Structure 1
Amino acid sequence: MVYPLGMIGVGIGLAYLAAFAAGGLLLRCGFPLSSSPGRNGRIDGLRGLLALSVMMHHFVIWMQATQLGGSWERPTVLFLENLGGGSVSIFFMITGFLFHRVALEGFHISRIAALWVGRFFRLTPLVAASVVATCLIILWTQDYSIRPDTVFTPLLSWVAAVGQPPLLGHADSGRIDAYVLWSLKYEWAFYLFGLPLMAIAYDLLRGKAPNAALPLALIFGSLAMARWVALDWLAFPPLFAMGMLASEATRLDEARIWSSSGAGMLTASAGLLAALACAPKPHGTSWDFLLGLFFASVACGNDIFGLLRRRAFLALGECSYGIYLFHGVVLFALFDFGAPALVALDTASLPLLLPLVAIVVVALTATTFVVIERPGIAFGRAMVARFSSAAPATSEDEAIG
């Protein structure tokens, strides 16, 4: 299978530019940006780029499955594969970073319960909306079967993000959203189990070990277990732990000075590109440490020469969860509904559609942010304020799976 790599590169570059322009247009139209104190704007800007990178990864998979004689599987070019998986790895690091201070405060059931409520109303409404969109597409265009066993259990699995079995009896239903819900399973595992256990561990170790000791132990303990036990999930705890280490690094003057220097930005960016180009798989290799270095540098001050501070990228960051969940629906519409029109195009020219896809996805997800996400976040906070004396665990803790 031969990829038109040059045109894919051009399409990816133009798509980032198109999304940036769309983000700027959103702001001129009054799109709301968070003004919460303590927000790390660099991470907000990074989130938008990561979600767009996942979209581009799935565009390539659609290309190879429909135009290049391949199937729905990982791209054989490492950079194109890791563009998606590596971005999800950094999303896990963002989650670890954002919630590290919750663990540091120790185990308080009211605070943990408040976090669970907030996370539910932050994550679940948009998942439910994406599942509804998938169901409507199946009912409109695909073979389907409506029986209790094809509706209720699959719907629950999808909305709870524990799996994506055939929905409404349609075998390839997961392809409609590009099978993106898998990562939310690990996000929820972190919130429900990892974070409380880390909080308890910090209570037990308080005053006996530095804060960095626990995430370091989690990283190397998981790596050691992975050498002896073949469990796929062991690749993910180190990613959350790297985010926690990045949180600790922000306390160090030396880390902040180096990360915001030209040499630091170049070194961290080179490490990111090396990991994307060379890692044999997106998670669970030593290349994860280069991804961790890049993320820590962003947390500590690396704005990629001002790029991550641009307000247009901050707008894309607000849309990032929606971009992650809904880009698959847009790609399905392009490659399935638009298949007759695509036949007339030269395969090598298909990546030039990426900028248009990016604009459509940004417009769609800006709408879902205003109509679904933002009200869901506000409702969750209101619920916490009404039934608990605990304040929300974080301020605008925007992370996705």
Structure 2
Amino acid sequence: MVYPLGMIGIGIGLAYLAAFAAGGLLLRCGFPLPSSSGRIGRIDGLRGLLALSVMMHHFVIWMQATRLGGSWERPTVLFLENLGGGSVSIFFMITGFLFHRVALEGFHVSRMAALWVGRFFRLTPMVAASVVATCLIILWTQDYSIRPETVFTPLFSWVAALGQPPLLGHADSGRIDAYVLWSLKYEWAFYLFGLPLMAIAYDLLRGKAPNATLPLALIFGSLAMARLAALDWLAFPPLFAMGMLASEATKLEKARIWSSSRGGMLAASACLLAALACAPKPYGTPWDFLLGLFFASVACGNDVFGILRRRALLALGECSYGIYLFHGVILFVLFDFGAPALAALDTASLPLLLPLVAIVVVALTAATFIVIEKPGVAFGRAIIASFSSATPAMSEDKAIG
């Protein structure tokens, strides 16, 4: 396959700018930003860029599957492949970073139960909405089969993020949302198993070892196990652990000073670009450590020369979960339903549609945030408050996965 790399690069750059402009317009229209209390704006801004990067990665996959003679598979250009995989890796690090303090506080049944309730109402309503959108598209295509075995078990698997088997009997239903639900499986594994186990381990080791010991043990233990057993899931615990190490790094004054300096920002940006350009696959390689260094730098104060603090980008950060879940639906409509109209465009011009796609995705997901995601979070907080004295912020911390 020959990618029109120049036009893809232009399309990606314009799409970031278009999304940024859309974020600014959302703010002028009254889109709600969260209170700065307990939130780190740099990470909120980073989320918006990461979700958009995943969208651009899948746009390229659609191009190669429909116009470049390829199939629905990873792009052969490493940067375009890692634009998606690298972004998801950093999302996992954000999760580890945000919830490390929960593990440090030790294991408390009521607190863990409150966290699970908060996560359920934070994550699941939006997943359910994206699954409904997928079902509607399948019904519109008239390529479906409605029988108990094609409805109930697949629906449960999708909404619970256990897998994406054929939905309503539609053979390639996962392509409609770009198969994005796979990462939520690992998010839930972290919340349900990883976090409680880490909390118990901190209880056992309290006062006996530095806090960074456990994340480091998780990283090197996973790497050692991966050499003995070819298990795909072993690539992901180190990513959560790197986020936990970033949490510990924020306590170091020298790390904060360096990360906020011009030299620190340049070094962190170089780490990010090197990982995106050179990693032979998205997960489970030494290049993940460069992504970890970049994220730790952001956690410690690197706002990438002020970009991550821009309010328009913070608005995109609020929409990031929706962007991640719903961009695949928009791309499917464009490349499948819109195929007759796209036929009039030459392949090299297709990337110029990316800015328009970005605007549509941001507009749609801003609506889903207000109508579905924000009320879901509020409902979860209300339930937590009714049976627990857990901190409300527990249900407000955001991570995609």
Is the pair's TM-score, using the shorter chain for normalization, greater than 0.5? yes
- What is the CA–CA distance in structure 2 between the aligned matches of 1:341 and 1:399, rounded to whole Å? 36
Q: Residue 32 of structure 1 aligns to a residue in which SS?
A: coil
Distance in structure 1 (CA, Å) of the matches to 2:34 and 2:197: 31
Aligned to 1:177: 177
The alpha-carbon deviation at position 388 of structure 1 amounts to 1.7
> Deviations for 1:329-353, whole angstroms, at most 9, x for unmatched residues?
0000000011001111010000000
Partner of 1:138: 138
Determine the C-alpha separation between the residues in 1 that align with 2:196 and 2:46. Answer: 27
Kept in 1, the 8 Å contact 2:115–2:395? The answer is: no
Distance 2:150 2:372 in 1: 27
Partner secondary structure for residue 393 of structure 2: coil
Displacement after TM superposition at 1:391 (Å): 2.6
Q: Deviations over 1:76-115 (max 9, x none)?
A: 0000000000000000000000000000000000000000
Tell me the distance in 2 between the aligned counterparts of 1:142 and 1:194: 42
Distance 2:222 2:393 in 1: 27
Residue pair 1:102, 1:393 contacting (<8 A) in 2 also: no
Is 2:138–2:170's contact at 8 Å kept on the other side of the alignment? yes
Deviation at 1:38, TM superposition (A): 2.1
Distance 1:388 1:261 in 2: 42
Alpha-carbon distance between aligned partners in 2 of 1:396 and 1:332, rounded to the nearest angstrom: 31
- Which aligned pairs between 1:99-178 and structure 2 lie closer than 5 A? 99-178=99-178
Separation of aligned partners in 1, 2:129 and 2:39:
27
1:291 aligns with 2:275: no
Q: CA deviation at 1:221?
A: 0.5
User: Which segment drifts farther, 387-396 or 65-74?
Assistant: 387-396
Corresponding position: 1:252 with 2:252: yes
Q: Distance in 2 between matches of 1:142 and 1:185?
A: 29
Quick one: percent identity of the two aligned structures?
90
> CA–CA distance in 2 between the matches of 1:171 and 1:65?
17
2:51·2:87 contact (CA, 8 Å) conserved in 1? yes
For the residue of structure 2 that corresponds to 1:393, the secondary structure is helix
Is the contact between residue 126 and residue 373 of structure 1 (CA under 8 Å) also seen in structure 2? yes
> How far off its partner does 1:389 sit?
2.7
Kindly indicate whether the alpha-carbon contact (under 8 Å) linking 1:150 and 1:167 is maintained by their aligned counterparts in 2. yes
Residues 115 and 392, structure 1, Cα contact 8 Å, conserved in 2: no
Confirm or deny: 8 A CA contact 1:15 1:358 kept in the other structure. Answer: yes
CA distance 1:244–1:107, shift in 2 (3 Å): same
1:392, distance to aligned residue in structure 2 (A): 3.7
Assess if the C-alpha contact under 8 Å between 2:118 and 2:394 holds in 1.
Answer: no
Unpaired stretches in structure 1, ≥5 consecutive residues = none
The answer as to whether partners of 2:58 and 2:178 remain within 8 angstroms in 1 is: yes
With 112-121 and 32-41 compared, the bigger mean Cα shift is at 32-41
Q: Distance in 2 between matches of 1:123 and 1:111?
A: 18
Unaligned runs of 5+ in 2: none
Alpha carbons 2:380, 2:395 under 8 Å: kept: no
Partner Cα distance (2:322, 2:263) in 1? 34
User: CA offset at residue 141 of structure 1?
Assistant: 1.2
1:36 deviates by 4.4
Indicate if the aligned counterparts of 1:39 and 1:396 stay in contact, CA closer than 8 A: no
Q: How many residues align?
A: 401
Kept after mapping to 2: 8 A contact 1:122/1:376 = yes
TM-score with structure 2 length normalisation? Answer: 0.99
Question: How far is the alpha carbon of 1:393 from its aligned partner?
Answer: 6.0
Q: Is the 8 A contact 1:104 1:202 kept in 2?
A: yes
TM-score when normalising by structure 1: 0.99
**What's the secondary structure of 1:204's corresponding residue?**
helix
Assess if the C-alpha contact under 8 Å between 2:122 and 2:395 holds in 1.
no
1:98–1:394: 8 Å Cα contact kept in structure 2?
no
Native 8 Å contact 1:321 1:399 kept in 2: yes
Question: How far did residue 394 of structure 1 move?
Answer: 2.6
- Greater than 3 Å deviation, 4+ residue runs: none
1:142 deviates by: 3.8
CA distances 1:183-223 after superposition (whole Å, capped 9, x unpaired): 00000000000000000000000000000000000001001
User: Is the Cα contact below 8 Å between 1:111 and 1:392 reproduced in 2?
Assistant: no
* Kept in 1: contact 2:12–2:351 (CA 8 A): yes
CA contact (8 A) 1:127 1:325 kept: yes
In the alignment, is the contact (CA less than 8 A) between 2:119 and 2:395 conserved in 1?
no
Encode CA deviations 1:27-55: one digit per residue, 9 max, x unaligned. Answer: 00000000041210000000000000000
SS at match of 1:174: helix
State the match for 2:369 in structure 1.
Answer: 369
- CA positional deviation for 1:400: 0.7
- 1:387: Cα distance to partner? 1.5
Q: CA deviation at 1:396?
A: 2.3
**Does the CA-based 8 Å contact 2:223-2:234 persist in structure 1?**
yes
